[in-house]
Amino acid sequence: MSRIVILGAGISGHTAARYLNKWVGKEHEIVVVSPNAKWNWIPSNIWVGVGQMTENDVTFDLARLYGKTNMEFRQARALSIHPEGNAQHANPFVTVEYTHPEKIGMQEDIAYDFLINATGPKLNFGATEGLGPDHGHTVSVCTVSHAQEANFKLQACIEKMRAGVPQTVVIGTGHGMCTCQGAAFEYIYNVDHVLREAGVRNMARIVWISNEYELGDFGMGGVHIRRGGYITNGKTFAESLMVERGIEWITRAHVKKVEAGKIHYETLDGQFHELGFDFSMLIPPFAGVGLKAYNKADEDITSQVFAPNGFMKVDADYTQRPYLEWSAQDWPRTYQTPAYRNIFAVGIAFAPPHLISKPMQSANGTPINPTAPRTGMPSAAMAKAVAMSIRDMLNGSDKATHTASMAEMGAACVASTGSHILKGTAATMTVFPVVPDYEKYPEFGRDIDLTFGEIGLAGHWMKYLLHHTFIYQAKLRPGWSLLPD
C-alpha cells in the first residue's frame, strides 16, 4: 500500500483528492493536509463581499466530508518537504504543524510515496505598506472572512451615501506584480450593481486601478475575441463595460503605499500620484507559502526545489532569456518536479516559467506588469491530470502518463457583473489556449474560433448555475464525477 499526501484542499488539491479517492482510495492511503477547516468556493467570494451570499453559501466543512471517504484529513499547514528522508526517516516525508484548535502548534512528520503540492498562494499583503484588512487600510475578497468584512464596510459606505455623503470607491490590484485581476474585475461591477440597486450610484465615484498595461490584459498578454460576428480585443471589450457604467480607470499602476483614505501609486512613466478613497478593495500579490526543502543530510535545498518567489519548480523550461524568445513550449506538461518523480505541484503552487504579459518597468525601475494566472479551470485540469498520472504510476507506469499544459488547454471564464435573477449580467469569455502560441496561431496567438466573449443575463444564470454545480461536485454528491471540472 502506498501513501499519497496532498498539501492543500483548494480547487487543485481537492480535485486531485476526490479523483484519487475514486480511483485508488480503497487500495492506497490518501492524506489531505490543509490549514483551513473549510473548503471555500473562492470565485463566489465576490458575492459574499456585496452581501449577495453568506459564508454558508460558499463553504463546507472538510473534516466532515473527508470522514465519509477513504481519505484522511489533517487540519495543519505544511512546513517542510524531505524528499530523500533523513537519518530518522528512511522514506520521504513532510513536516506539518497543526492549526486545529485541539492540536494547535503540534508538529508531525508524514511519510509519503507521492506528494502533490497544491498549497496555493500566500496572500502577500506585506509587499505593499498599508495593504490589506489585517494590518492595513483596504479590504479583500480572497477569503470568505475577508469578503464578509468587505461587505460590512461596503454597507457602511452605502448608509453614508443614503445620508447624502459622497463616497469614492477604489478597486483593483494592490501591487505592480499582482495576478488575479479577474476577482477585482468581477467585484467592481458587483459593487456598481448593488449601489444602483440601493439607489445611491449617483453618490459614488468608482475607480479601477490596475497593473495591466491595458484594460483586459488579465495577465494573459491581452486577448482578441470573436464577439457578435466580428473580432475585437480585450481592451475594447473591458473599456466598453466601464464606460457604460461610468467607472473610471487607471492602468500601468503600482500601488506603493496605502494610508488611511489615501493610495500612493507609481505609473509606468515614472510619475507618482495620490488617490483618495472611502472604500477600497485591492487584490494583494501572491507568493509561495514558504515551504522549505531538505536533503537526506538535512541540508537546505529550498533554492533547488522552489523558485525565488516560493513556488515549486516543475517540468517547465526556466532558462532565462529575452521575452520575445520565450515559447509556449516552455510551459509544464506533467507538473512533476525535475529531481523527484514522485512530487508534483499544481494550481498556483507551481512556478510559471515566465510572464505571459510583457515584462515592463517604470522609469524608476519598478516592475509593473501582471503575473501569469493559474486558477480556475486550468488548476482543476492540471490536478486531474496529475491524479491520473499517479493512478497509472501506482499501477506500474514508470513515468507520468497525462499532461495538461496551459499552452494546450482552453479556459472559460464567467465573470459576474451584477447578481440578480432578472437584472444580473455576466461577461462570458473563452480563450484557447490560455498561454498564447504564436507558432501555431501566428496572427493572435490563439484560435480565434474558440476565443470569444459575450455579456448578458444568460451569463449571470450560467455563473449562478456553475456556483451550485461546482459545490455539488466538491461535496461528492451522487454523479459528481460526470460533471465537468
pLDDT digits (tens, 9 = 90+) for 366-397: 999 999 888 888 999 999 999 999 999 999 99
What is the pLDDT at residue 192? 97
What is the pLDDT at residue 422? 85
Distance CA 299, CA 313 (A): 18
Distance CA 78, CA 288 (A): 12
Q: Is 470 a member of any domain?
A: no
Q: How confident is the model at residue 485 (pLDDT cuts 50, 70, 90)?
A: confident
Structure confidence by residue, pLDDT tens digits, 113-154: 999 999 999 999 999 999 999 999 999 999 999 999 999 999
Q: 357 is in which domain, residue-wise?
A: 3-123+287-394
Instruction: Give the CATH number, domain containing residue 26.
Output: 3.50.50.100
What is the pLDDT at residue 91? 95
For the chain, the average pLDDT equals: 95
pLDDT > 80? residue 228: no
CA distance to 316, 326, 353, 372, per residue, from 320 (Å) = 12, 9, 9, 16
Q: Is 312 a member of any domain?
A: yes
What is the pLDDT at residue 84? 97
Q: Is 302 a member of any domain?
A: yes
Q: Is 77 a member of any domain?
A: yes
Structure confidence by residue, pLDDT tens digits, 15-27: 999 999 999 999 9
Q: Is 261 a member of any domain?
A: no
pLDDT > 90: percent of the chain: 87
Dmax over Cα atoms in the chain, in whole Å?
Answer: 70
What is the pLDDT at residue 256? 98
What is the pLDDT at residue 127? 97
The answer to whether residues 66 and 72 touch, using CB atoms and an 8 Å cutoff, is yes
Distance CA 290, CA 277 (A): 33
Structure confidence by residue, pLDDT tens digits, 441-460: 999 999 999 998 888 999 99
For 338-370, the DSSP string reads SS-TTEEE-GGGBPPSS-SSPP-B-TTS-B--P
pLDDT > 90? residue 233: no
Q: Whole-prediction pTM value? A: 0.96
Distance CA 58, CA 128 (A): 28
pLDDT > 90? residue 102: yes
Instruction: Provide the number of structural domains found in the chain.
Output: 1
Distance CA 422, CA 309 (A): 44
Distance CA 99, CA 112 (A): 21
What is the pLDDT at residue 314? 98
